[in-house]
Amino acid sequence: MMKNEEIKNRLLQAAKQLLKEADQPETITARQIAAQANANLALINYHYKSKDDLINQAIGEIVQNTADRWKDMMDDSLPPKEKLEKMLIALSDMVMKYSKFTKISIQYELTKNQISLPYYLIPTLKEYFQDGKSETELKIIAYEIVSFLQLIFLRAEEFQKYTGENIQIKETRDKLIRMQISIFLGGKHHAI
């Protein structure tokens, strides 16, 4: 059993190393990972179901430290709308910090992974709306907020052509998030 865990870990470490070194992480192959880990190619599917699952777990571990700091920095004393704004801005900053992984991880999150990220927003939305929204409505709002951001990061160039707004620029991104929160939670918002 220990040998299986060792091989599984070697595959994960190999994927992380290749991701860190790659200019185009989406071109990493299962063969490259197996060679880097000095493991049989079939063991990727045995331990991780697929190369995509392995790559996304590796990306998850790479960004986990930043995500943990993001969760720890949330100030519970802030009003819910402000807390949500800070959460989304910190999350978007994290996505930009790891932008070379963005397309891979967002595509995977949107199409293959279980919906999980919106759950982080639900407690703050519940605090904001109090008893004014059902659990289903809160989940839908959280999903709409997160999926919209994921799509604009995934299609940043097309989004810029469509809106004229470059989300690579932090000020633009932050204003877009504030506008989105105002749309979903109500209140004044200013043009970008």
Per-residue pLDDT tens digits for 4-19: 889 999 999 999 889 8
The label of the residue with tokens 């299962």 reads 30
Q: State both tokens at 63.
A: 């960004």
Residues 52 and 77 in one domain: no
The domain that holds 1 is classified in CATH as: 1.10.10
The label of the residue with tokens 């063991």 reads 43
Angstrom distances, CA of residue 88 to CA of 9, 96, 138, 148, 173 = 32, 12, 16, 12, 10
Rounded to two decimals, what is the model's pTM? 0.73
Q: State both tokens at 161.
A: 């052509």
Instruction: Give me the domain span that covers residue 115.
Output: 73-192
What would the mean pLDDT of 88-103 be, rounded to a whole number?
82
Residues 103 and 135 in one domain: yes
Percent of the chain at pLDDT > 70 equals 90
Residues 102 and 156 in one domain: yes
Does the pLDDT value for residue 35 go beyond 60?
Answer: yes
Residues 100 and 191 in one domain: yes
- DSSP, collapsed to helix, strand or coil, labels residue 57 as helix
Residue ranges in 49-132 assigned as alpha helix (H): 51-72, 80-97, 99-111, 122-129
The reported pLDDT for the residue numbered 59 is: 82
Instruction: Read off the pLDDT band of 90 (50, 70, 90).
Output: confident
Which residues neighbour 183 within 8 Å (Cβ) at sequence distance 6 or greater?
A: 189
What would the mean pLDDT of 156-174 be, rounded to a whole number?
94
Read off the pLDDT of residues 38-88 as tens digits, 9 standing for 90 and up: 999 999 999 998 998 898 888 877 777 666 665 665 667 889 999 899 889
Which residues neighbour 149 within 8 Å (Cβ) at sequence distance 6 or greater?
A: 88, 91, 92, 95, 177, 180
> Could you give the CA distance from residue 144 to residue 157 in angstroms, rounded to a whole number?
21
In a domain, 64, yes or no: no
Instruction: Read off the pLDDT band of 190 (50, 70, 90).
Output: very low
> Could you give the CA distance from residue 46 to residue 40 in angstroms, rounded to a whole number?
10
The label of the residue with tokens 């190999």 reads 14
In a domain, 66, yes or no: no
Residues 111 and 31 in one domain: no
